[in-house]
Amino acid sequence: MKVTESVALARINKMGLKPAGTTTGEGKCRGLVVSQSPAAGTRKPEGSVVKFVVQLKPCPSASPSATPSPSPARTPAP
């Protein structure tokens, strides 16, 4: 689950770690953390650095589902 930059910073600081964030792209998804190192849940000594990347490019839009072509109805042979 992706979190916002502010949530990530709060969690990192609460654990006594040092945040080191960068950004990528630009757009309406501004502020979502898309990757981090070390991974979430990894135990590190207090003062360790957590690197993360904040997405700034547009969110992918949902692609419309392809509508299947109607099958021709079979008419019974006389």
Question: Above 70 in pLDDT, residue 62?
Answer: no
Distances (CA, A) of 3 to 12, 56, 69: 12, 13, 40
Confidence of residue 60 (pLDDT cuts 50, 70, 90): low
Q: DSSP label at 65?
A: P
Q: What is the mean pLDDT of residues 38-58?
A: 89
What's the pTM?
A: 0.64
pLDDT tens-place string over residues 2-47: 888 899 999 999 999 999 988 887 556 778 888 899 998 899 999 9
In the prediction, which pLDDT does 21 show? 87
Q: Is 55 exposed, middle or buried (0-12, 13-18, 19+ CB in 10 A)?
A: buried
In the prediction, which pLDDT does 51 show? 94
CATH class of the region 5-55: alpha beta
For the chain, the domains span 5-55
CA 61 from centre of chain: 13
